[in-house]
Structure 1
Amino acid sequence: MHVSETLGHFGASFHSRPVAAQVIHHAKRAVVDWYAALIAGYAMNPTPLLERAMAEDLDRGLARLALGRKATVKAAALIHGTASHAAEVDDIFKHAIYHPGAPTISAALAVAQQVQAGGEEFLRAVIVGYEVSTRIGQILGRAHYRYWHNTGTAGTFGAAAAAAYLLRLDPAQSTHALCTAATFAAGLQQAFQMDSMSKPLHSGRAAEAGVAAAAMAQQGVTGSLDVFEGRMGMGVAMSDAPDWQPVLADLGQVFNICAMTFKNHSCCGHTFAPIDGALALQQAHGFNAADIAEIKVATYAPALAVAGNPQPATAAEARFSIPYVVATALLHGSVRLAAFDAERLADPALRALMQRVVLEVHPELDQQFPGQRAARVDITLKDGTRHGFLQPTRKGDPDLPLTDEDLQSKLVEFATPVLGADGVQSVSRQLWALETAPDLTFL
């Protein structure tokens, strides 16, 4: 079969497949994390601007936005997909260099509300979307990531697969949904090389495009079955003509949703190992930020290409600046949403410490990317003392995971200012028992 058929048939057959309790639990973890990211980014631009732009598709329709407003299915997918990526706190599948939750879960929720699905069907759709899209992203690989934003490209397939599952498309229709989604997949990295609102829109557009592709397939729209591996297909056009078969071999046996990275810092994931390494040194040796003469960060090349901004001027740029977030961590002990307030951005002490950060590519760590996200941090104090530490992974990666309690704390932190303590308690209770929910009206 073509790659598209292998993936499409997997999604269509998932209705009748048993799913282990562990896989369901990891899907719930992904939804809890997504909801925290959604609420965190809901008031951030471009989400409010997007709501205004989509006014004709709001206050009507079968889907609902996070705070209760009615919306058409495609508008809900677009707005939620954008909002849940806006705060840079959404999940990562590191092998695909990809944030699956924002496009996949946003699309799944919109369609689940349309068809009045219960919690278990919703979770199953999320699993299908994650498994299809993470494999496509992994196959496209590092070569794809040179220019493309994987969340905008691979995310389109997560949305399409999840939507196709909930619409109960047959194997042929599910396949064609993915084939059409391939021609919709987009998102350029240049869009976030400077201050811009485009990056979260990539995720929102992926969610919307995936929903549209599934709806079209339901009505008989077809696509090219060889769109992935063909001589002018996605593998050639957007990667280095990869072999598609190895990562598809364990489809339905190994579940990538059980190996997600959940963010412990409110910024680009490429900055996490430097943050964790700097904090580890500070905690081990007890120095203050004022004691530091130099901070040398050596890590993999894409981290510097995406997050090497030495002088960020805005919150959006600061989230992609290793000097900024490392200096913030050493001054304040963490990098959460408050790290990007206007007062922090202008802090003279923080700006002074940023000037002492030196970035370089570490050849061995670069070779380990994307499977391993490590950084070497060396800090020289003003008295000449030197401390070094190799941060081999990131807190939140599968080999150093956030616990359920950590995810719940993240949800409480981000959602309480919006929903209030009672609202968060109610939503939390239902999210952690999602497989038993008769409907999704609480979301």
Structure 2
Amino acid sequence: MEEKFSPTEACANFVSSVSFEDIPAESIDLLKRDLLDWIGCAIAGAADKSSEPIKKVTAELGGKPQAGAVGLLKNDVARSAMCNAYYGHIFEMDDVDRESISHPATVNFPVALAMAEYLKKSGKDALLATCCGFEVMLRIGASVTPGHYKVFHTTSTSGVFGSAMVAGKLLGLNATKLAWALGNAGTSSAGLWQFLQDGAMSKFLHVGLAASNGILVALLAKEGFSGSNHILEGSQGFFVGYGRQEPDLSLFKDFGEKWRSATVSFKPYPCCRHTHSAIDAAEEIREKLKGRKPAKVKLYTYGTANQVAGKRNPKTGRQAKFSTAYCVASTILRGKPSNNDFTDEKVTEREVAELENLIEVIVDPEITAMVPKNWPCRLEVVADDGENLVAQVWSPTGDPEKTLNWDGVVSKFHIMTDGIIDTKSQEALIEKCKNFENLQNVGEIFEL
């Protein structure tokens, strides 16, 4: 009888056997751009008031000075990774993968940097480990999307598998121990969307715990602590408990052939990625209006966007980041959104609130059918003089079809970090990311 295919085993075997030389140049280049992009997000996040709770708790609990964190003294690897992951997700500016609907950078890079510094590994080692985390995390997330995503925050639930593989690769674990780490990562997998209904801060904690728990299970595996060998496909495993749909096992059969780390998207706007195609469309409509007022606005979008970013009449900046209607109204009136457009004061300005209320949001079956391969939308606007205006966006800015090159990522990095760190530090970080595989002391990132 043919042995049943094990996606858990496939993940462990890939991570144990892959070398830096196996990774295609386009993946390495994207990972380095993504590293700079994430560092900019983390620096901005660490300077925001939302970072204060984790800073205070981390300082109170303390830990051995093993690895650096943005804006903090060195702490133990798990807490440093937790803080950095948390910071990177605060402004909703970190990367996104379309098929898994997840943000791999803010879970995997904090683990790679913390463990590489602690273990005295090179930038090349950290990039290899990060690639392993991306490849595993994104396959697990995509295999259960979109059903899983209706209840679970995939960045957290699949992210802990990725972070465990990052830490495990840097620890040099064999396939058996990597499978144990996956088993205990699955047991630690968590992250529910309920917080969105209250505009709560849980999203930051989701990624922080995914990063720190990945380190914990990898370190335990190194010491002989066993875990399920079939955590994904087992009768009481991840797919059964969390999947909410039949998993796509074919995704685990193309390791080394398709590199998902080469197809991640960048986020140009500081809000939920599901709002971005609508923002691009709104910017096009703004140009077509040429100063006229919109009299009617219809936004055709997909189901997941309405589920996650369907907030109406937001009262706070946090709520507005998950309101496609607000983002469209703000863009039509003010242009492309920046952090300044998500203050509580800006969100409740009368003119933007009136336009937001005018927008009719329609979940379009044809657009929904294109997700998660694409995240499109269409805006239909009637101007106050009666002219009909239409903007159709198939792929938002930052997707692989419209990716941010080095110049784009560097520009965004400056936007995120201007006024927080000095120009000399900015330029040094840019150069270190561009040449990250040659960096011998990964801790230099946090010294800057």
Q: Is the 1:427–1:442 Cα contact (8 Å) retained in structure 2?
A: no
User: What is the Cα deviation at residue 40 of structure 1?
Assistant: 1.9
For 1:402, the equivalent position in structure 2 comes to: 404
Q: Which amino acid aligns with 2:444?
A: F
User: What is the Cα deviation at residue 57 of structure 1?
Assistant: 4.5
For 1:298, the equivalent position in structure 2 comes to: 300
| Cα pair distance change 1:51/1:141, threshold 3 Å | same
Q: Which amino acid aligns with 1:22?
A: E
- Residue in structure 2 matching 1:116, options 107, 110, 120: 120
SS of equivalent residue, structure 1 residue 399: helix
User: What is the Cα deviation at residue 357 of structure 1?
Assistant: 1.1
- Residue in structure 2 matching 1:42, options 28, 42, 46: 46
For 1:247, the equivalent position in structure 2 comes to: 251
1:294-319 CA-to-partner distances (Å, cap 9, x unmatched) read 22111101111111111111111010
The answer to whether the aligner puts 1:158 opposite 2:162 as a matched pair is yes
1:64-86 CA-to-partner distances (Å, cap 9, x unmatched) read 11235211111011111111011
For 2:144, the equivalent position in structure 1 comes to: 140
The answer to whether the aligner puts 1:264 opposite 2:285 as a matched pair is no
Q: Is the 1:261–1:401 Cα contact (8 Å) retained in structure 2?
A: yes
User: What is the Cα deviation at residue 398 of structure 1?
Assistant: 0.7
Q: Is the 1:193–1:306 Cα contact (8 Å) retained in structure 2?
A: no
1:38-77 aligned at under 5 Å gives the runs 38-58=42-62, 60-67=64-71, 69-77=73-81
User: What is the Cα deviation at residue 17 of structure 1?
Assistant: 5.0
The answer to whether the aligner puts 1:351 opposite 2:349 as a matched pair is no
User: What is the Cα deviation at residue 2 of structure 1?
Assistant: 2.5
For 2:414, the equivalent position in structure 1 comes to: 412
For 2:223, the equivalent position in structure 1 comes to: 219
Taking only aligned residues, the RMSD between alpha carbons, in angstroms, comes to 1.5
- Residue in structure 2 matching 1:287, options 290, 293, 304: 290
SS of equivalent residue, structure 2 residue 158: helix
Q: Which runs of 5+ in 1 are unaligned?
A: none
User: What is the Cα deviation at residue 23 of structure 1?
Assistant: 2.1
Q: Which amino acid aligns with 1:197?
A: M
Q: Which amino acid aligns with 2:262?
A: C
For 1:234, the equivalent position in structure 2 comes to: 238
User: What is the Cα deviation at residue 404 of structure 1?
Assistant: 1.3
For residues 190 and 294 of structure 2, the distance between their equivalents in structure 1, rounded to whole angstroms, comes to 43
Q: Is the 2:315–2:344 Cα contact (8 Å) retained in structure 1?
A: no
Q: Is the 2:134–2:162 Cα contact (8 Å) retained in structure 1?
A: yes
Q: Is the 1:293–1:382 Cα contact (8 Å) retained in structure 2?
A: yes
For 2:391, the equivalent position in structure 1 comes to: 389
Q: Which amino acid aligns with 2:37?
A: D
For residues 241 and 219 of structure 1, the distance between their equivalents in structure 2, rounded to whole angstroms, comes to 35
Q: Is the 1:319–1:325 Cα contact (8 Å) retained in structure 2?
A: yes
For residues 243 and 148 of structure 1, the distance between their equivalents in structure 2, rounded to whole angstroms, comes to 15
The answer to whether the aligner puts 1:277 opposite 2:281 as a matched pair is yes
TM-score, length of structure 2 as denominator length: 0.95
For residues 65 and 82 of structure 2, the distance between their equivalents in structure 1, rounded to whole angstroms, comes to 14
User: What is the Cα deviation at residue 241 of structure 1?
Assistant: 5.1
For residues 416 and 423 of structure 1, the distance between their equivalents in structure 2, rounded to whole angstroms, comes to 11
1:356-380 CA-to-partner distances (Å, cap 9, x unmatched) read 1110101100111111100010111
TM-score, length of structure 1 as denominator length: 0.96
Q: Which runs of 5+ in 2 are unaligned?
A: none
SS of equivalent residue, structure 1 residue 377: strand
Q: Which amino acid aligns with 2:59?
A: A
For residues 273 and 18 of structure 1, the distance between their equivalents in structure 2, rounded to whole angstroms, comes to 34
SS of equivalent residue, structure 1 residue 202: helix
User: What is the Cα deviation at residue 21 of structure 1?
Assistant: 2.6
For residues 252 and 264 of structure 1, the distance between their equivalents in structure 2, rounded to whole angstroms, comes to 30
Q: Which amino acid aligns with 1:307?
A: A
For residues 241 and 23 of structure 2, the distance between their equivalents in structure 1, rounded to whole angstroms, comes to 35
1:52-111 CA-to-partner distances (Å, cap 9, x unmatched) read 112244474211112352111110111111110111000011000111111111111111
Between stretches 99-108 and 39-48, larger displacement belongs to: 39-48
User: What is the Cα deviation at residue 232 of structure 1?
Assistant: 2.0
For residues 237 and 336 of structure 2, the distance between their equivalents in structure 1, rounded to whole angstroms, comes to 44
For residues 346 and 50 of structure 1, the distance between their equivalents in structure 2, rounded to whole angstroms, comes to 29
Q: Which amino acid aligns with 1:31?
A: L
Q: Is the 1:295–1:356 Cα contact (8 Å) retained in structure 2?
A: yes
1:171-226 CA-to-partner distances (Å, cap 9, x unmatched) read 11111111110010110011122210101111111101111111111111111112
Between stretches 298-307 and 34-43, larger displacement belongs to: 34-43
Q: Is the 1:59–1:69 Cα contact (8 Å) retained in structure 2?
A: no
Q: Is the 2:286–2:331 Cα contact (8 Å) retained in structure 1?
A: no
Q: Is the 1:328–1:339 Cα contact (8 Å) retained in structure 2?
A: yes
Q: Which amino acid aligns with 1:432?
A: K
For 2:199, the equivalent position in structure 1 comes to: 195
Number of aligned residues: 441
